Amino acid sequence: MRTLASFWRDIAIAIVALAVLVYVGIAAETPWTRDFLTSLFAYGLLAMSLNLLIGTTGLVSFGHAAFFALGGYAFGLLLQSSGFLATFGPGAVPVAFVLAVAITAVWALVVGLICARLSEIYFAFLTLAFQMFLYSVVLSWVGLTGGDQGLMGGIPRPVFLGIDLSDPIHRFVFCAAVFVVSILVLRVVTASPFGYTLRLIRDNPRRAAFLGINVLRAKVISFVLAGSVASVGGIILALFTSGAYPEWMYWSQSGQAIFMIMLGGINQFFGPLLGAVLLRFLNDMVLAYTEYTELATGVAILLVVLGLRRGILDFVVDLVRNRRERTQQSEASASLKRGPDVSPDNKAATLETVTPRA
């Protein structure tokens, strides 16, 4: 009953969040706000999906951006195919969306079945190896992917259900809805019994196996879910840029997602999203004055790690919790020092309580 109540509460929060995002996007006087939020939707999903592996399952992946880029490439290549457009007509965009996520999920399943058998550093570097393999394929297969130039010529976006994705407002509302739904899916997964199973595997995989949990299967499911949500982020970015580029699946893209998690907080659900907001905002602000964005990002990460020793949201939550505990301890100590309440009113109440009634 309590879980069901939490589910409906999350649904209500998601509807309110979508309404706020749509209002901000439509009311924005300059395109910068919509552009910033749309890129935030893409990179926010990349970071949030990666934290399903790192924060919830305990799997540090260095190759997560491969799924992000694969979603964008698959979506763009399908819509650039004249045969695909002729076959599905107005429904080409939603069909390409579903197929792109499905293709990424299949690739994540293959990679997950191999990598999830390993642990810690071996898992991390094997995921990186798969990412760089995919990166090499994209660079080498120039006839299909455009090589280092990416998908050229734009991505056709035929109108479906009255939604014209070439229109900035329509595109923003569509991307905002997809983003909110994806975040809701991640929230439901992490708050479900399966999410608690993943945390048990993260904390003590041997105990989980002793309790009868199929640890490998749970890790693979988590890996596929995270890869699928990351591919949705890549699709949003492909819609936004009307293309797909090999830089999206370079190792530095995965590193940037890890920076977002470290900056925002690994133990809070919205920590990676906060990190994405801060990192994208910092990147845009620094670009306005200098091209040394990596230097500014590195300094910001150093300040947070050395100063707070955890992500910003983790620090804030710990600070509030510690203050609350200190306040409760102070109140308990003060109550002990005062001793029992012997006032006349309290005596009367006590006698009334203990005296048997006729």
Structure letter (DSSP) for residue 55: I
Is residue 296 predicted with pLDDT exceeding 80? no
pLDDT given at position 344: 59
Is residue 16 predicted with pLDDT exceeding 90? yes
Under a CB-based contact definition with an 8 Å cutoff, are residues 157 and 93 in contact? yes
CA gap 205, 216 in Å, rounded: 10
Under a CB-based contact definition with an 8 Å cutoff, are residues 255 and 35 in contact? no
Between 334 and 176, the more confident residue is 176
Tens of pLDDT, residue by residue over 120-150, are: 788 888 999 999 999 999 999 888 888 888 8
Is residue 349 predicted with pLDDT exceeding 70? no
CA gap 305, 130 in Å, rounded: 29
Structure letter (DSSP) for residue 270: T
pLDDT given at position 357: 47
CA gap 199, 53 in Å, rounded: 10
Question: At 163, is the secondary structure helix, strand, or coil?
Answer: strand
Report the range out of 151-155, 231-235, 304-308 with the highest average pLDDT: 231-235
Tens of pLDDT, residue by residue over 155-173, are: 888 888 888 888 889 999 9
pTM above 0.75? yes
* Res. 350 pLDDT band, cuts 50 70 90: low
**CA 149 vs CA 135, 166, 230, 244, 343: distances in Å:** 13, 22, 22, 9, 83
Mean residue pLDDT of the chain comes to 86
Question: At 160, is the secondary structure helix, strand, or coil?
Answer: strand
Q: What is the DSSP string of 283-323?
A: HHHHHTT-S-HHHHHHHHHHHHHHHHSS-HHHHHHHHHHHH
Under a CB-based contact definition with an 8 Å cutoff, are residues 266 and 56 in contact? no
Tens of pLDDT, residue by residue over 23-40, are: 998 888 788 888 889 999
* Res. 358 pLDDT band, cuts 50 70 90: very low
Q: For Cα atoms 85, 88, 89, give the angle at the middle one, nearest 5 degrees.
A: 65
The 10 Å CB-count burial string (b at 16+, else e) for 193-213 is: eebebbebbbeebeebeeeeb
Under a CB-based contact definition with an 8 Å cutoff, are residues 84 and 151 in contact? no
Q: For Cα atoms 191, 192, 193, give the angle at the middle one, nearest 5 degrees.
A: 125
Under a CB-based contact definition with an 8 Å cutoff, are residues 246 and 138 in contact? yes
pLDDT given at position 75: 94
How many CB atoms are closer than 10 A to CB 49?
A: 28
pLDDT given at position 46: 94
Pick the closest to residue 245 from 158, 145, 171 (CA basis). Answer: 145
Say which residue the tokens 């893409």 belong to.
42
Longest dimension (CA), the chain: 96
Tens of pLDDT, residue by residue over 193-244, are: 999 999 999 998 889 889 888 999 999 999 999 999 999 999 999 999 888 8
Under a CB-based contact definition with an 8 Å cutoff, are residues 311 and 264 in contact? yes
Quick one: the chain helix, strand, coil %, rounded to 5? 80, 0, 20
pLDDT given at position 348: 56
